[in-house]
Structure 1
Amino acid sequence: MATTIRKAAVIGSGVMGASIAAHLANAGISSLLLDIIPAALTPEEEAKGWTRDHPSVRNRLAAGALARLSRIKPSPLYDETFVSRITPGNLEDDLGKLKDVDWVIEVVVENLEVKRELLRKIEGHWKPGTIVSSNTSGISIQAMADGCSEPFKRHFLGTHFFNPPRYMKLLEIIPGDATDPAIVTQMAAFCRRTLGKGVVIAKDTPNFIANRIGTYGLLVTLQAMMDNGLTVDEADAVTGPAMGRPKSATFRTLDLVGLDTFVHVANNVYEKVDSGGEKDAFEVPQVLKDMVSRGWIGEKSGQGFYKKIKGEQGSEILSLDLSTLEYSKNKKPVSASLEAAKTAKGAKAKTKALLGAQDRYSAFAWDILKKVLVYSAEKVGEIADSIADIDQAMKWGFNWELGPFETWDAIGLVRSVERMEAEGMAVPPWVKEWISAGNQSFYQKAEGKASYAYQGEYRAIEQPVEMISLRSLKEQNKVIRSNSGASLIDVGDGIACLEFHSPNNAIGADILMMIQQSVEEVRKNYEGLIIANEGRNFCVGANIMLLLMEAQDEEWDEVDNIIRLFQNTMMTLKHFEKPVIAAPHRMTLGGGVEVCLPADEINAYAETYYGLVEVGVGLIPAGGGCKEMALRISRANPNPEVDLQPHINQAFMNIGMAKVSTSAHDAKKLGYFRSTDRVIMNQDHLIHEAKQSALRLVQAGYEPQPQEKIRVVGADGKAVLKLGAYSMKQSGYISDHDLHIAGKLAHVMAGGDIPAGTMVTEQYMLDLEREAFLSLCGEPKTQQRMQHMLSKGKPLRN
């Protein structure tokens, strides 16, 4: 196998094929996107006098798929310019180009004979050593490769991407009987590191792992709902976050997937399993068949289990009554079990609380859960060797917070098995033997190391070197310092990691104090500092509740002190004599951005949504955000003859419109990241990569960032910025208060009322930020915005 995959070919330009090519482009891999030649000309092509021999006609399907990528929401691409890394072509003219690629991915229709025929064509142009894989969601890898040569079979495997490939972490790798094990190992490592995937190794069985368990779970939920006389709304209320599952729960998930797609997946198992009980479980209920026949297949048709309609008071969601096939208004279920689950913290506690209450919803949840747990246990060894792979597949592929075996541990393995057997369920013998041997759970931890049940004994979970777990390090007593908001953790090799763990990782005095203490600790005893955490989001900003309380009490000295503390702490980070690396992920907003800006280098997860959004709560960035953007523009344009205004205009718009990047690459385009900042594809590798960056700077003989002067656009530039804001107000894009905030922001970004070209200090710019921030805190409309964000979780336009 090629040690590095630099170029690929994707065959099949449907939504999935084009999206896989897009994600390869995201990873920097160029690819060919090939499809068949259209059977007939379009009217537009005929009008141009083209024939089927014209290149634009022959490549139309693939070229059209690339053109549609920009219209897909959410976007399959990190940056729309990455589409240039994909070259469209067709299967008659371009198969010869397969000799130039390192990986061929087949993504054509889910039909065994079509795939077999295509593989034979591919082999006719195959260069020995090239990897070939199928993106099938359930067709046998072995059956597909029948008739191919042994060398080809050794290089052939399944690579089942979950849809959409950019956003879904799961990638199931399915070896055939003849697949070279070394290729499986190397492809798994490549897909983890370069594509950012969570890889599980699946057996060559119908629907592999996630779709096998997930489809079974959806079908038993539907059957249990009908047996217990529950509505669609009630079933989704139980099988969503209350059970550690996504908000889309069961029936919203089916609408998203498409009922036609789901029926196809279910039938794939039904047609291929022999067991009577299992076959019966995968038989599609008549009500689903009726919905598909009516075209009610979910979101893509406008209706499925739910239907969105527009009324006089706005849009509303209706749900389907399966007994009448009529839609009615949603009714929010209320019960003791649902309330108990809602107030519990974490998926384990929620599931236990849901099952612990004695009501019809609790009974419904147990009826579903016990069947899914037993079925998952029955499939161990058949669909995957490892319970850990089954758990990870369900978490990464269906967004469950806990896999089946983790759930079993959470509700009490021994107690739940006793209940199952008392209710007449047949629990797999291996589970009973495991308990009889004295084991209380499928997973255990000892000295910070995790292990899982495997063939009658605990097997250690081997973590790749690229994965550093802060949770595991804390269990190994690697915490150096800690308070309520943050901890400093020893991650080895002389590097310490500052982890936020306040509610929502919001920045308050506790985090700022820990940053200062961390700097002192690293100064004395360590070589470098990284700022990273394992929260859902890196940091959604400062603690606005604290700011609002102080502002409402008119404690202006206290607000001033808070902002000074923030600014001084960021300046300490920026000019620290040892390297500082920030590793943001997902939502990184407001103050979270300002924590990253002083770092020597940012290693951002590719899915980082990054922006200075303070205007959404009626404020401006005051922890150095405005200053840093102005400084970067000045630094990038040292020639005093260069006009800074266009660059300042763009930064002003980004902050004034609270623009948030759609990816880490987009953050670079917005000017938030420097060319030296890195994008990391796999979030699990983020802390390791940040540590390596810190070590690299240490080894290079790190020199701290110098104090710099900033060239500003001054009073003239401020007038330009304010004029732009006034034009937006006149056009109805912003409110009066938005215009007021924009004036304050313009004053700061321009450097105040001084001559254009004046060189100012960083502290001068920080003082302007703080003054503007304090004045806005006193505005009633700003306080209304802050209150609205705290209570509603979204901006108020007032």
Structure 2
Amino acid sequence: MSSKFQVRKVAVLGAGVMGAQIAAHLVNVKVPVVLFDLPAKEGPKNGIVTKAIDGLKKLKPAPLGDAADAALIQQANYEEHLDLLKDCDLIIEAIAERMDWKLDLYTKVAPYIAPHAIVASNTSGLSITKLAEVLPEEIKPRFCGIHFFNPPRYMYLVELIPTPTTRPEILDQLEAFVTTSVGKGVVRAKDTPNFVANRVGIAGMMATMIEAEKFGLSVDLVDDLTGKKLGRASSGTFRTADVVGLDTMAHVVKTMQDNLQADPFYGTYATPKVLAGLIEKGALGQKTGAGFYKKVGKDILRLDPEKLGTEGAYVPAGKKMDEIVSRMLKKAPADRLKLLRESSNPQAQFLWSILRDSFHYVAVHLADIADTAREVDFAMRWGFGSQQGPFELWQAAGWTQVAGWIAEDIAAGKTLSSAPLPAWVTEGPVATAGGVHTPEGSWSAADGAFKPRSNLPVYARQPFPEALVGTNAADPLKAGTELFKNDEIRVWTLDGQVVIASITAKLHLISPAVTEGLVKAVEIAEGGYQGLVVWSPDDVFSAGANLESLMPVFMKLGSKGIAPEEKKLQDAMLRIRYAQVPVVAAVRGLALGGGCELAVHCARRVAHVESYIGLVEVGVGLIPGAGGLTYIARRAAEMAAAGNANADLLMFLKDGFLSAATAKVGTSAHEGRKIGYLLDSDVIVPNKDELLHVASAQVRAMAESGYRPPVKSTFPVAGRSGIASIKGQVANMRDGGFVSDHDYHLASCIADVVCGGEVEAGSMVTEEYLMAIERKHFCSLLDNPKTQERIMGMLQTGKPVRN
């Protein structure tokens, strides 16, 4: 058995934008990290690193899941602390993209690198093989490229790039660590300029700029055409360039200009006049406040390239695609491409042109840049936010048909390069299979064969890895053995031991049908299984209760009709909490309102690190009504008991009350734990695709350990004196104009529940007793005109109404 690669500590060399954010993400996933930079010329020697770490707290989107964790990044400089490298198992170099600087640094640190440590360069395009040349012979086999995408916390893609001297098992070890511990999707790239994602993505952006000029389309219109409606990142093309930084983009383009003279698409790598002009003016995009766009007050203005350098260079933005083009984009891939190609509308012709250019480009370059078409498609999904990679879309639209259209356009001189499509596109196994992705594997143009996915042990932890069109991968909502199903929930098992409940309703909202399904799932699990996992295969655990599903009852019977439904939901939560088998919530993405309440009533939670958990009901003028406030009161009593018999209950209630009263949402699983919706005993998982595996393993472990549900018992509440104290503080906020009268009313209802109503402080109550108070307030709020305003506002606009 091969020994496991243990990563006890990572060193990141370089505290620039990428280095500091890579260090921040390692802290997010609880990997100890030391961040190095040059010694500061004046003041404390670690000044440069200190400044970079302080900067992390201000960046948006936040690089840290919990800003306080910035303190966990150890600070170091190359003059005093090189000895620290000896304790590091992985060293990631992330300094500026200058070959000479990198080589100089490698020479300096080489004597301090541990004999087993892996060394990797985070570069977006420099040759990894060239970088390796300066390293001592004994380090070369442990050296490779590692390319994180910006921002590292949120971008799923990491490219790994071997050199001819990298030992294969080193790459395997690094891939396992980056997948499970860092939570990323790994694509292996060949050591060619800009690797896979940037090579294809930036070439696509250049092609888009060329075609946009050809068709005379403005930057805002192009972004609308190449954004969400096309199945790409919502920022489109020019907005993406602004976010990346126009200087960074120009740098990637220059790598192509310098190293790809023989490329048949070389002509498209010329820096566009407008890009050069903006850089010359110092307008580098978002970081300088102006690029292709400029924000003036609340208005977003766009560049008019004709006026670049003049006073009126920026004009109002907001152009949208023609309705007819928008309708074409809603069609199935085959019809969509046919309509775009045959339309006389310039916007449609532009879209056909950029799609054709991307298909042409990846076909011509596949053999050189990646092992198979799989790497290209995943790189574009994970690195550029496309819903489908270029090969997938081509295959979905009809491989042979589209290949014919591309060939016709090449012959007619309409394409950006006159290079013919490679022979494998139109003859042999790919043509026979109808595309590059098959159940056997994806096409390798270099090897002339379909190659299966990696079988590294780390991938056995992903029951349903992300799949590509044409691979016939198992659909998690059709897989396994079905045990029960209704319109909004599926109860099933993969292994015959653990039951899985998957909510299938939109946003996994909890309706009476879901409540019924959850109770049924508990019954099935108790009848002969080890336990139950509540898991769904996308980025929402549950966004809350389905208010719309209760509308008909409310219209007919008013809030009196809602009370029994509300009680059913509360009873279901208690049924889950006191189930005879462990129930584990596998939380990913949103767990809001009722979704949060469902999670906290489970025996344990396994949460993906990017989970957003909170009780948000006050946003629609309600209070948590499915036991969320009862949970807060019970937890406060448990913490007080654990802390000190004479402890003041209110001290422990304060945070829970505030979180519910202000609709506070944890912006990561770690923050969710700080607020109290996740406990120390809960598990946080870095990789979204490993969530089901870990949650099922927790169920089995708990069952094997002789799981017993908690014993039903009473607990003390803060009573009427607690209510008075909380209301007094909220009244001050109301009188100071910080909260509205209705907010005060909502806070009073919450205080009434968490303190146990009109009883003496220290009175012992049951969960059912508190849930009855919760229910009473929930129903009376439904009759409140201010609450009705908030609910209608949310249903109509999706935004909270402040009233």
The aligned residue for residue 525 of structure 2 is 522
- The corresponding residue for 1:52 is none
Superposed displacement of residue 114, structure 1:
0.9
8 Å CA contact retained: 1:597, 1:628: yes
**2:15 matched residue in structure 1:** 13
Q: Please tell me the residue identity of whatever aligns with 1:578.
A: V
1:557 counterpart = 2:560? yes
The aligned counterpart of 2:469 is none
Alignment partner, residue 630 of structure 2: 627
Corresponding position of 1:602: 605
For residues 645-702 of structure 1, the C-alpha deviation after alignment (integer angstroms, 9 at most, x for no partner) is: 0221211110000000011011111111111111101111111110110010011111
Structure 2 counterpart of 1:760:
765
2:162 to 152, 168, 175: 175
Could you tell me whether the CA contact under 8 Å between 1:337 and 1:357 is conserved in 2? no
- How do 1:360-371 and structure 2 match up within 5 A? 360-371=346-357
Structure 1 segment 97-246 matched on structure 2, within 5 A: 97-246=84-233
Q: 1:357 to 1:541 in 2, by over 3 A?
A: farther
Q: 1: distance between equivalents of 2:511 and 2:338?
A: 33
* 2:476 and 2:537 in contact (8 A); partners too: no
Counterpart in 2 of 1:715?
Answer: 720
Show the counterpart of 2:389: 403
Question: Residue 750 of structure 1: which of 751, 755, 763 is its match?
Answer: 755
Q: Deviations over 1:407-459 (max 9, x none)?
A: 112222121111111222622222112467522232245xxxx7333455444
1: CA distance between counterparts of 2:15 and 2:366? 35
Question: Aligned partners of 2:317, 2:68: CA distance in 1, in Å?
Answer: 42
Which SS does the other structure have where 1:583 is aligned? strand
1:524–1:459 CA distance, 2 compared to 1 (3 A)? farther
Give 1:103 shift.
1.3
2-structure distance, mates of 1:339, 1:391? 24
The answer on whether the counterparts of 2:92 and 2:121 sit within 8 Å (CA) in structure 1 is yes
**For structure 1, which segment, 283-292 or 531-540, has the greater mean C-alpha deviation from structure 2 after superposition?**
531-540
- TM-fit CA distance, 1:232: 1.1
Is the Cα contact below 8 Å between 2:480 and 2:493 reproduced in 1? no
Does the 8 Å CA contact 1:505/1:535 hold for their aligned counterparts? no
Say yes or no: does 1:390 pair with 2:380.
Answer: no
Q: Distance in 2 between matches of 1:711 and 1:456?
A: 71
2:480–2:494 CA contact under 8 A, matched in 1? no
The residue that corresponds to 1:452 in the other structure is 442
Aligned to 2:796: 791
Q: 752-761 or 429-438: which moved more?
A: 429-438
1:419 aligns with 2:414: no
Q: Call closer, same or farther: CA 1:356–1:676 in 2, change over 3 Å.
A: farther
Confirm or deny: 8 A CA contact 2:607 2:683 kept in the other structure. Answer: yes
* Distance in 2 separating the partners of 1:587 and 1:348: 34
Residue 34, structure 1, aligned to residue 21, structure 2 = no
Q: 1:558: how far off?
A: 2.6
Aligned match of 1:318: 301
Give runs of aligned pairs for residues 572-651 of structure 1, distance below 5 A.
572-638=575-641, 639-651=644-656
One-letter amino acid of the structure 1 residue matched with residue 52 of structure 2: A
1:675 aligns to 2:680 (yes or no): yes
Structure 1 residue 778 corresponds to structure 2 residue 765: no
Look up the equivalent residue of 1:397 and give its one-letter code.
G
TM-score, normalized by length of structure 2? 0.93
CA displacement, residues 56-81 of structure 1 (integer Å, 9 cap, x when unaligned): 1x211112212222222222222233
Distance in 2, matches of 1:548 and 1:147, equals: 70
Q: Is this contact kept in 2: 1:337–1:356, CA < 8 A?
A: no
User: SS state of the match for residue 410, structure 2?
Assistant: coil
SS of 2:527's partner is: helix
Unaligned runs of 5+ in 2: 412-419, 466-473
Q: Measure, in 2, the Cα distance between the counterparts of 1:507 and 1:473.
A: 20
5 Å-filtered alignment, 1:290-369, equals 290-310=277-297, 315-325=298-308, 326-340=313-327, 359-369=345-355
Say what the alpha-carbon RMSD is for the aligned residues: 2.1
- Unpaired runs of 5+ residues, structure 1, are 46-55
Deviations 1:618-662 (A, max 9, x none): 000010100111111112222542111022121111000000001
Shift of 1:748: 0.8
AA at the equivalent of 1:366? W
Deviation at 1:721, TM superposition (A): 1.3
Quote the Cα distance in structure 2 between the aligned partners of 1:387 and 1:194: 26
Cα deviations across residues 62-103 of structure 1 (Å, max 9, x unaligned)? 122122222222222222332232221211111122112111
Deviation at 1:710, TM superposition (A): 2.4
Local SS of the residue matching 1:482: strand
Question: Structure 1 residues 2 and 489, CA, compared in 2 at 3 Å: closer, same or farther?
Answer: closer
Offset of residue 572 of structure 1: 1.0
Instruction: Check 1:549–1:289 CA distance in 2 against 1; reply closer, same or farther (3 A cut).
Output: farther
Equivalent pair of 1:608/1:664 in contact (CA under 8 Å):
yes
After superposition, where does 1:405-554 map in structure 2 within 5 Å? 405-424=391-410, 426-434=420-428, 437-445=431-439, 451-454=441-444, 455-462=447-454, 464-469=459-464, 472-476=475-479, 478-554=481-557
Q: Provide the rounded CA distance (Å) in 2 between the counterparts of 1:534 and 1:376.
A: 30
**Matched AA of 1:461:** R
How far apart, CA to CA, are the structure 2 residues paired with 1:647 and 1:147?
58
Q: Deviations over 1:719-739 (max 9, x none)?
A: 111112111112222111111
Structure 1 700/349 Cα, relative in aligned 2: closer, same or farther at 3 Å? Answer: farther
TM-score, normalized by length of structure 1?
A: 0.93
> C-alpha distance in 2, partners of 1:235/1:161?
27
Q: Identity percentage over the alignment? A: 35
| Range that drifts further, 287-296 or 334-343 | 334-343
Partner SS for 1:224: helix
Describe the SS at the equivalent of 2:406: helix
CA contact (8 A) 2:424 2:431 kept: no
Partners of 2:484 and 2:338 in 1: CA distance: 33
CA–CA distance in structure 1, aligned partners of residues 428 and 634 of structure 2: 63
In the alignment, is the contact (CA less than 8 A) between 1:244 and 1:348 conserved in 2? Answer: no
Which deviates more from structure 2 when the two are superposed, residues 1-10 or residues 672-681?
A: 1-10
The Cα of 1:243 is off from its aligned counterpart by 1.2
Q: Deviations over 1:363-416 (max 9, x none)?
A: 111100111112112222311102111111111111111111111122221211
Amino acid at match of 1:430: W
Show CA shifts across 1:164-220 (max 9, x none): 111111111111110111000010001100000111111111111111011001111
